[in-house]
Structure 1
Amino acid sequence: MRYLLLTCLLSFTGGLFAQTAAASTWQELAKVSYEKKYDELLGFKVDVPVFSEDIRAMAGKTIEISGYIVPVEGYKSHNEFVFSAYPYNMCFFCGGAGPETVMEVTATEPVKYSTSRITLRGTLTLNDSNINQLMYLLTDAELVAK
């Protein structure tokens, strides 16, 4: 019986730690500022992200992050989609969240759409030059089993 209780306790705290670690990833990604730079193509100044040292240290590394799928083409399985720290109705595109709360995802296998929070693992890439992409990209992403 003690073994069972200990196993349950360790499973719960391990899951809690993983969820906290993934949530803290969004907190780290929020440590970004912006500066105005003139864009030749657009003909006016645009906000360009300035990544903190902590964020730059994450670039090119494998990270785990929890969030919500924002479908770009219907509600099906996707290899490419937008991922948000917040549910669809509160995300950058529909709610009041900032651009640091979303990222473009390219998955190795299709990820089935869900309105529930999921966790992904992939390689983080930073974008401060292509205005046609989000500032965070997660490549070679895969769904982390619960």
Structure 2
Amino acid sequence: MRYLILLCMLGLSVAGTAQSAAASVWQDLAKVSYEKKYDELLGFKVDVPVFGQDVKALEGKVIEISGYIVPVEGYKSHNEFVFSAYPYNMCFFCGGAGPETVMEVTAKEPVKYRTERITLRGKLKLNNDNINQLMYILEDAEQVLTK
């Protein structure tokens, strides 16, 4: 019985560490600053992200990240959505956080909407030139199922 309890505790510890590591990616993504650049099309200066070295090191890499699906009108399906470090009531779109706390996701398979935290795995793309997209894009994403 003690052996079984020890195995269960070890399993929970490993799962917690994996989720913690996935959540800490947001801390790396927060290492961004902004500079003003004139946008010819808009006719005024806009904030453009300047990614730190820690963020640049993640570009093109497959990452795991934990967060929340944000229901945003205009996204076509469960394959394309916005993902946030924070729940909907605290996310960037509600004025509770910065733009570095959200990313666009394109999933391989549909991801069902839920209000609980989930973990995704996909390839990170950085965007500092298209103002019609978020600065972080997760491509070929898939949900990581936790046990």
Q: Which TM-score bucket, shorter chain as reference?
A: over 0.9
Runs of 4+ in 1 over 2 A off after TM superposition: none
Equivalent AA in structure 1 for residue 133 of structure 2:
Q
**Unaligned 5+ residue runs, structure 1?**
none
Whole-Å separation in 2 of the counterparts to 1:5 and 1:94: 43
Q: Distance in 1 between matches of 2:102 and 2:49?
A: 13
CA shift at 1:9, angstroms?
Answer: 1.5
Residues 91-102 of structure 1 aligned to structure 2 (within 5 Å): 91-102=91-102
Tell me the CA shift for residue 5 of structure 1.
1.9
Q: Structure 1 residue 15: deviation in Å?
A: 1.1
**1:47 matched to which residue of 2?**
47
Aligned counterparts, 1:40-119, within 5 A: 40-73=40-73, 78-119=78-119
What TM-score do the two structures reach when normalised by structure 1? 0.95
Counterpart CA distance in 2 for 1:18 and 1:56 is 22
Q: Which residue of 1 aligns with 2:5?
A: 5
* Cα separation, 2, equivalents of 1:28 and 1:54: 6
Counterpart CA distance in 2 for 1:95 and 1:68 is 16
Secondary structure (helix, strand or coil) at the match of 1:93 reads helix
Gaps of 5+ in 2: none
How far is 1:73 from its partner? Answer: 4.2
- Percent identity over the alignment is 78
Q: So what's the TM-score if we normalise by structure 2?
A: 0.94
Q: 2:123 is matched with which residue?
A: 123
Query: Take 2:143 and 2:120, find their aligned partners in 1: how far apart are those partners?
Result: 5
Corresponding residue pairs, total: 145
